[in-house]
Structure 1
Amino acid sequence: MANPVIIPATAAHTATIIFLHGLGDTGHGWATTLAALKPPFAKLICPTAGKIHVTLNGGMRMPSWFDLKSLDPSGVEDEEGINKAADAIRKIIQEEIKAGIVPDRIVIGGFSMGGALALYVGLSTPPTLGGIVGLSCWLPMHKTFPYGGAGALQRPPLLQCHGEADPLVHYSFGMLTSTLLKTQLPKYTFKSYPNLGHSSSEAELEDVKAFLKDALPQLSS
């Protein structure tokens, strides 16, 4: 991966937000937007995926967390690539923990395939994180969820958001993910947005901001 975009905390650093971009984007694509939503005590890390050949885009090389072979829920997945990318994000999480940020003060999120990777990392990586945000995404390797078996990991709060007019990651795909997750997670919220395509909106960003406020409350001095 290239060096991540990092927006430091503007107050005493007690929390970290890690946000993963979508296919073909970079960490810069979401940094400014998320910087306006984060609490002042939170550091924001927006990594950039390395460039690889992407099957779904005719084999073109572009920033991508893993190879995308299909957007069909029953399609073949790049399990090796997903696990490799997950390990890279786990290293970032561990670096924050070593720096003194406790796991439940770390939130991971992402958009599209970045959201898919955020779901996978957040739901398969001990210790339990403070929260997960998945925008316009899906649950990777859903056939093996819950990863590690039921009860293998205390499930963090999760916010899943999806536009009802998404032409790429279809709303029905998001709903399949929602149907599975709501049966497994004690603190799960699904938000949908009429007329929203494969992008974000002011309403969605306000929901993300509210989720971050709940997941990362200000610590008493």
Structure 2
Amino acid sequence: MTYLPCVEIEPKQQADSAVIWLHGLGADGHDFASLVPQLDFPKKISTRFIFPHAPSMPVTINGGYVMPAWYDILEMTIDRKVDVMQLEKSAAEVVKLIAREKERGVTSDRIVLAGFSQGGAVVYQAALSHPEPLGGLLVLSSYFATQETLQAHSANQQLPILIQHGTQDNVVPEALGQRAFQLLRERGYRVDYQKYPMAHTLCVPQLDDINRWFGRVL
């Protein structure tokens, strides 16, 4: 079986948990790998971090320029018209990485999916449709692109979900993060929402909150 190329950071002890973390449009797996030294939660010593690289493809909103992307964005409207089939294909690639972690001895409920921007849209799809319980879902500065097409699985109805967003985000407006939070809450998910006075990026207080959240779910 073939897998997405990834940056992988092994723990100090035998891995019994894993975080699969997807980057945003135009970036690569190295984008968030640099954050690992700043993470310091109790189970980090046995948590494997996996940062996949998205394939390169033409992106319509950028004039068809070829860049790393999880799916094509067709219109930059508030509703974010995207290529749903490409997004679902990327989610299927994430599911293959979950299966590989299970083969390595990590149970599904010890696997956390995380994603920034485009990556967040993909992990919404991958996590909520997954037929086995996962450990958690972390969504950063993103939106729920497949909310109308997602075939949710009951295995992850109790999945711990944390959404984080910047109040000054001019790429993915905070309204989209709030919309996802409200929708998931209405559907009965265990979802928390945290906001920060920042643009389309990460900040130090946010990393502190991520540390605490990883400490709880792992």
Tell me the TM-score normalized by structure 1.
0.91
Offset from partner CA, 1:169-198 (integer Å, 9 cap, x none) = 00111111111012224421100112x000
Which residue identity lines up with residue 177 of structure 2 in the other structure?
G
Where do 1:1-221 residues align within 5 Å? 3-37=5-39, 39-145=44-150, 147-148=151-152, 151=154, 153-194=156-197, 196-216=198-218
**1:156·1:185 contact (CA, 8 Å) conserved in 2?**
no
Matched residues in 1 for 2:146 and 2:216: separation?
A: 28
**How large is the RMSD of aligned CA atoms in angstroms?**
1.7
Q: 1:213 to 1:71 in 2, by over 3 A?
A: farther
Q: What percentage of aligned pairs have identical amino acids? A: 31
Q: 1:75 to 1:15 in 2, by over 3 A?
A: closer
Shift of 1:67: 0.6
Q: 1:209 to 1:202 in 2, by over 3 A?
A: same
Secondary structure of the residue that 1:93 maps to in structure 2?
A: helix
Which residue identity lines up with residue 137 of structure 2 in the other structure?
I
Matched residues in 2 for 1:53 and 1:139: separation?
A: 22
Matched residues in 1 for 2:76 and 2:18: separation?
A: 31
Q: Structure 1: give runs of 5+ residues left out of the alignment.
A: 217-221
Equivalent residue number for residue 219 of structure 1: none
Tell me the TM-score normalized by structure 2.
0.92
Offset from partner CA, 1:74-101 (integer Å, 9 cap, x none) = 3432111011101111100000011110
Q: 1:162 to 1:17 in 2, by over 3 A?
A: same
Secondary structure of the residue that 2:214 maps to in structure 1?
A: helix
Matched residues in 2 for 1:157 and 1:115: separation?
A: 15
Q: 1:26 to 1:181 in 2, by over 3 A?
A: same
Q: Structure 2: give runs of 5+ residues left out of the alignment.
A: none
Q: 1:2 to 1:153 in 2, by over 3 A?
A: closer
